[in-house]
Structure 1
């Protein structure tokens, strides 16, 4: 269940995501952006402007994705491929999310930088796009993305460890809007964007966990949603 509350500051509004017992967490929304409520502490208008104006550095790669689509896993693969050194000495790296991490930390990263973001293309650093900087756009089966979201909300205090029903997902904005927005950008600016889009399922072995969570009836409903929202999508590889 979603309940909207007007937020006078900077045109953000609070959205209460609750189950039938009133348990859940709050997000804040402005236009197409959805963040944890704590985001309001980060001067969002100033931050979004600074992201758009961020300077491109030779070798930068933007790793773009909808949340819980295998972002951190792909990030570490990229890190190991781009950072020289013996494999046995490599350690898992801690990614920096452009949307939420202090921008000073991202500026201070050594090159080549892999910068993670869940922002849509029209909110990315302009200079990176203008110079045809490399972009890796990760996609994942939306059913598995929902399951991953469910576990994520249960394990993190920012979501109050909430055990929410399916009708409360996706809590971080529309999965379908995110990839449809990217498809539109690719169709309109194909020659100007340097994008590779791997499917998470093609990078791992085995089938996803959604088959253990969806009932037959739920799967049928999801198929109808896919037909409605993703009919002509290049990202509709749900299996």
Structure 2
């Protein structure tokens, strides 16, 4: 059984609001809000975790980590599956796809005991902010890969993700995009993610990085990885401290290409085409102007957001 949790406080002071327990509901990361001078909390949203919620979050905070672990952290629909496969290949030295579904290595959906039995190095995924994860990430200086993607393409990808999973009554993509920019729930009990949440996630990541400078953290932009995949793979290999030849990096790029028929027809067909600028195929002029205005307001103080790209 899974539970939706809504949080605004730091992990050790988390408050919760229980939403739907439908296991088919949207997987959505939490954005940690902060108190304003007036005492009001910033917008929050639901993320799905195993029940019991409090027990599972407590287990995550106390989860034993290993020095060779790799954490892939991102807001939902940012393109983590591509990165997950790449990291798996680089650390194994082979261009073989990971046999386990990515969801089996996501912290929010699995017992800590499952991770304890996994061989090293563990490539662990999560949409939960780092402040909710194991305290040993800091003490053991676990490598963290943070993936970013522009919110317009995320909004489109999120719509098709929900549509494919049949997680809510489909009112059409334009209404879904409107809900994203206005932070309106798709249906009672489910908050599918929105621009407010996206901005809060980036703010929390920036805060966490500033407070834990000793932790090796690499920011990767989906658009950059899409445009220059070989360069991205080489940078990843250096960051991970693994030996990788030019031929291996090139083979990894080829194996993980979204254009590969084997991937598109097989295990990656669930993750769509991963295009940059696909939002242009769905936005109206008025909606794009609304997004631009909202993005300028919500992300105006984010250093990470300044490098976001909306086209190649």
TM range (shorter): 0.7 to 0.9
Tell me how many residue pairs correspond in the alignment. Answer: 214
Q: 2:141 aligned to 132, 138, 155, which one?
A: 132
3-state SS of 1:99 partner: helix
**Structure 1 residue 209 displacement after superposition:** 0.7
Spell out the pairing of 1:86-235 with structure 2 (5 A cutoff): 87=95, 90-93=96-99, 94-95=101-102, 96-157=105-166, 159-160=167-168, 162-163=170-171, 165=175, 166-169=177-180, 171-172=192-193, 174-189=197-212, 191-205=213-227, 207-235=276-304
Deviation by residue 1:167-193 (Cα, 9 ceiling, x = unmatched)? 33361361111011111222333x223
Provide the rounded CA distance (Å) in 2 between the counterparts of 1:59 and 1:224.
42
Q: 1:155 to 1:161 in 2, by over 3 A?
A: farther
Partner of 1:12: 17
Provide the rounded CA distance (Å) in 2 between the counterparts of 1:27 and 1:186.
24
Provide the rounded CA distance (Å) in 2 between the counterparts of 1:210 and 1:151.
12
Q: 1:27 to 1:156 in 2, by over 3 A?
A: closer
Q: Which runs of 5+ in 2 are unaligned?
A: 1-14, 34-43, 184-191, 228-274
Provide the rounded CA distance (Å) in 2 between the counterparts of 1:137 and 1:26.
21
Which structure is higher in strand share? 1
**Structure 1 residue 43 displacement after superposition:** 0.4
Provide the rounded CA distance (Å) in 2 between the counterparts of 1:134 and 1:75.
14
Q: 1:74 to 1:161 in 2, by over 3 A?
A: farther
Provide the rounded CA distance (Å) in 1 between the counterparts of 2:27 and 2:69.
30
Q: Does 1:81 align with 2:103?
A: no
Give the 4+ runs in structure 1 shifted more than 4 A.
Answer: 25-33
3-state SS of 2:303 partner: coil
Partner of 2:81: 72
Residues 91 and 121 of structure 2 are in contact (CA less than 8 Å); yes or no, is this contact kept in structure 1?
yes
| Length-normalised TM-score, structure 1 | 0.80
| Length-normalised TM-score, structure 2 | 0.62
Q: 1:74 to 1:163 in 2, by over 3 A?
A: farther
Q: 1:146 to 1:59 in 2, by over 3 A?
A: same
